[in-house]
Amino acid sequence: MIYLNNSTTTKVDERLVKIIEKYSTQEYGVATSDYSSGFEMKSKEAVESAKKIIAEKISGQPGEIFFTSGQSESNTQVLRGLGKGHIITTKIEHSSILEACKALEKDGYSVTYLDVDEEGKIILDQLKKSLRKDTFLVTIQHANQEVGTIQEIEKIGKICRESRVLFHVDASQSFLKEQINVEKMNIDLLTIAAHLIHGPKGVGALYARRGILLKPLIYGSRVLDIPGIAGFGEAARLWKEEDNEKMRKQTKRLLREIGKIPKTIIFTPADSLPNILSVGFKFIEGEAIVLYLDSEGIVLSTGSACSGKGLKPSHVLEAMGFGEEDSHGSIRISLSRYTTDEEIDIAIEKLKEVVGKLREMSPIKG
């Protein structure tokens, strides 16, 4: 199998297996308090170690890191835990932001959904004009899950800080792939997830700047996923910049070769994540491409993998100004540090074959 769907999830680094097993079968205590037994303190030490590693990666402090079950919980915690009033977000956010905002509107919140340009970037002037007296939160993703667009987070953070509005960034896709400095970028809250950096599934983290109080989503004592948290910390520690450089080169090769296919649309802008490439092919369906490639043992996705079932157009591409015809022919290829050059070569060859075959079958000719 050639797995090219790493923006949905990634393979767990085999080096984490022993650590996860250790805290599952040997040091399996519950890290509850400073007054725990020596056995349980080993688990608490694992949590604190993971906090330190993750905090260093974003230039934060260990005491500002809180572990969650993942991206959706962290995002919901922010949206539900700060108060009531006006929220500003974008039209291309992850479903965990957009669906939560829609639910909040029914509860009396007011939400502004910012437009994006043809590259998927927000217009800063529109953000400034959208700020109101009752605006308490701006939540904007660092990088888009479908096309890889990177927002100008530092500029956005400055606007929010000057306006005294809290700034939340969903960095689930960009964590470790792009530089994040919560101090320099004026980020107050930050969401990250383990399963997108070769860590275990079901574990995430929320950075909350010291002094920010969030209402709890869950009351009572909570049993942390110690094996997952320990694995998360180790996954973050193991990530190297060389991984990003390798993926960037492979993505450029994909772009160069796929761009030779007639009537191809490139949705991913030049300045984007190193591992995501979104492209479209006129007159054929992206779903058909994905199914054909799956039969060849090549796994990738079409549109937004978290947008739900059905053949609805991608909300991301729609916001970027692409019509249904272009959107329906879209696929997303996303790489990992395990993706090999040989796999890239095979994927390119098979994709060209499939596109050619589907166009021959299509009743629409251009």
End-to-end CA, the chain: 33
Say if CB 12 and CB 25 are below 8 A apart: no
Is 160 catalytic? The answer is no
CA R_g for the chain: 21
**Which letter does DSSP use for residue 178 in this model?**
B
What distance in Å separates the CA atoms of residue 164 and residue 213, rounded to the nearest whole number?
Answer: 16
Q: How would you class 125 by CB atoms within 10 Å of its CB: exposed for 0-12, middle for 13-18, buried for 19 or more?
A: exposed
DSSP per position, 179-195: ---TTTTT-SEEEEEST
Name 2's bridge partners: 298
What is the distance, to the nearest Å, from the Cα of residue 167 to the centroid of all Cα atoms in its chain?
Answer: 17
> H or E stretch including 21?
helix 17-25
What distance in Å separates the CA atoms of residue 68 and residue 47, rounded to the nearest whole number?
Answer: 12
Torsions phi, psi of 332, nearest 5? -120, 130
DSSP per position, 290-357: HHHHHHTTEE-B-S-TTS-SSSPPPHHHHHTT--HHHHHTEEEEE--TT--HHHHHHHHHHHHHHHHH
How many CB atoms neighbour CB 155 within 10 A?
A: 14
Q: What is the number of H-type helices and E-type strands within the chain?
A: 12, 12
CB proximity list for 5: less than 8 A, separation 6 or greater: 299, 300, 301, 305, 332, 334
What distance in Å separates the CA atoms of residue 354 and residue 352, rounded to the nearest whole number?
Answer: 6
The angle subtended at Cα 62 by Cα 169 and Cα 137, nearest 5°, is: 25
Residue of 104, 299, 306, 358 marked catalytic: 306
Q: Which residues are catalytic?
A: 306
